[in-house]
Amino acid sequence: MGVLDIGSNTVHLLVADARPGGRPLATTSQRTVLRLMRYLTPEGAISAEGVSALVSAVTESRRVAAEEGVDELLATATSAVREAANGADVIARIEDALGQPLQVLGGETEARFTFLAVRRWFGWSAGQILLFDIGGGSTELMRVDVSDHDVQIHDWISVPWGVVSLTEHAPLPEDSLEGRQAAYAHMRDVTRQAFAAFADRAGAFAGQSLRLLGTSGTVTTLASVFLNLPRYDRRAVDGLVVPSDAMREISRRLAAASIADRAEIACIGRERADLVVAGCAILESIIDLWPAARVGVADRGIREGILRTLAMQGRDIPVTRREYRK
């Protein structure tokens, strides 16, 4: 079985062997960096060039999946396709390339699949967890209560700020440290405001024991920098717990650095150098609103959550197919 995840930043294929009721074992992972948000027109549509690049990436992923013997591929799309003004046309082009339906996930569905992917890290003692997923075009937050025998989701939110959309909104100037710091402060203000309503609703557990658990690119990148890894190593990062103060220090150091200096850091490189600062701003805003001593790091997300659902509950995935703006 396989999952094709069309995100705002990447098209990611994950292939796994799994039996119903068992745990999926990933066998192949392929990622194509597209940054769909850069192809948005002023009217909010994905340009013809962007659609063409997307179709090419999807076609290649379909080919790889077929070579791997995948007989069941679930294709999903998130915020970039969901929010595009021409979403219906884009979906039709993708479905033609795949030869099968595309599932367009709403923000709540994204959050719940992320929760399923990281649930095994909830071996932490009973208490409150804020689970967050910083994506390319959106960020999902989920408030979770862990007891000795149960895990309950209390609240969630999806905001339209991810590493790509926030970078596009507040680009960092390269010729001025003061300019970069001002842009970074603006990024933090924007995201704090976006999280404000959720923070107000979550105020009831502000004084309780709180843990932060993050997934995907930003937290795994900062964890790699924290470990000073010469290259990314999922085994070292997945499940790591990093002091929040260390996350803040790394975030502010990266925000002050030029893009050339960020690109020289082995775990960031040119691929992430221009986007990592926006992720840092989102992360710091989360820590501002929900101060916790440590941040848990999980290198897993929607894809793994879907695969786990496929393996544990059969083949019917509870998603709403047409959750996009018309």
Task: Give the pLDDT score at 307.
Answer: 74
The rounded distance, in Å, linking the Cα atoms of 118 and 133 is: 11
Per CATH, is 108-302 categorized as 1.10.3720.10?
Answer: no
**What pLDDT was estimated at residue 211?**
84
Q: Phi and psi for 285 in degrees, rounded to 5?
A: -65, -40
Contacts of 97 (CB under 8 A, 6+ apart): 55, 58, 59, 62
Domain boundary assignment for the chain: 2-106+303-313, 108-302
Count CB neighbours of 95 within 10 A: 14
pLDDT at 122 over 70: no
Cα dihedral value 30, 219, 190, 196, nearest 10: 110
Q: pLDDT band for position 222 (50/70/90)?
A: very high
Secondary structure element (H or E) that encloses residue 159, with its range: strand 151-159
The answer to whether 161 touches 194, Cβ cutoff 8 Å, is: yes
Q: What is the CA radius of gyration of the chain?
A: 19
pTM of the entire predicted model: 0.76
What is the arithmetic mean of pLDDT over 202-212? 65
Q: What pLDDT shows up at residue 129?
A: 84
What pLDDT score does 15 carry? 84
Whole-number Cα distances in Å, 32 to 9, 70, 83, 292, 296? 9, 19, 21, 34, 26
Percentage of residues in the chain with pLDDT exceeding 90? 39
105 vs 232: CA distance, rounded Å: 29
Contact 307, 253 (CB under 8 A): no
Share the mean pLDDT of the chain: 83
**End-to-end Cα separation, the chain, in angstroms:** 31
Each residue's pLDDT tens digit, 73-111:
889 898 788 889 999 999 999 999 999 999 888 877 877
Residue 322 corresponds to which tokens in the numbers above? 């047409």
CA atoms within 13 A on the CB side of 62: 17
Collapsing DSSP to helix, strand or coil, 91 comes out as helix
Per-residue tokens: 276: 């990592």
pLDDT tens for 279-323 read 999 999 999 888 889 999 988 777 777 777 766 655 444 333 333
CA–CA separation, 113 vs 310, rounded Å?
11
pLDDT at 320: 32
How many alpha carbons fall within 13 Å on the CB side of residue 326?
A: 2
Instruction: Return the minimum-mean-pLDDT range out of 17-26, 116-125, 301-310.
Output: 17-26
Q: What is the pLDDT, as a whole number, of residue 90? A: 94
> pLDDT tens-digit profile of 236-245?
998 899 999 9
Average pLDDT on 58-62 reads 92
Whether the per-residue pLDDT at 275 is higher than 70: the answer is yes
DSSP codes joined into one string, 178-242: HHHHHHHHHHHHHHHHHHHHHHHHGGGGTTS-EEEEEESHHHHHHHHHHHT-SS--HHHHTT-EE
- Given a cut of 70, is residue 173 above it in pLDDT? yes
C-alpha 180/C-alpha 174 separation (Å) is: 7
pLDDT band, very low/low/confident/very high, at 125 (cuts 50, 70, 90): low
Q: How many CA atoms lie within 13 A of 194 on its CB side?
A: 23
Q: Which fold has domain 2-106+303-313?
A: Nucleotidyltransferase; domain 5 (3.30.420)
Average pLDDT over residues 224-234: 91
Which DSSP category does 46 fall into? B
**Can you tell me the mean pLDDT for 134-157?**
80
Do the two domains 2-106+303-313 and 108-302 of this chain adopt the same fold?
Answer: yes
Q: How confident is the model at residue 247 (pLDDT cuts 50, 70, 90)?
A: very high
User: Which positions ≥6 away from 60 have C-beta within 8 Å?
Assistant: 32
Share of residues in the chain with pLDDT > 70 (%): 86
Mean pLDDT of 168-187: 92
The pLDDT value recorded for residue 314 is: 52
Per-residue pLDDT, 22: 53
Task: Say how far apart CA 105 and CA 1 lie, in whole Å.
Answer: 19
Q: What is the pLDDT of residue 27?
A: 63
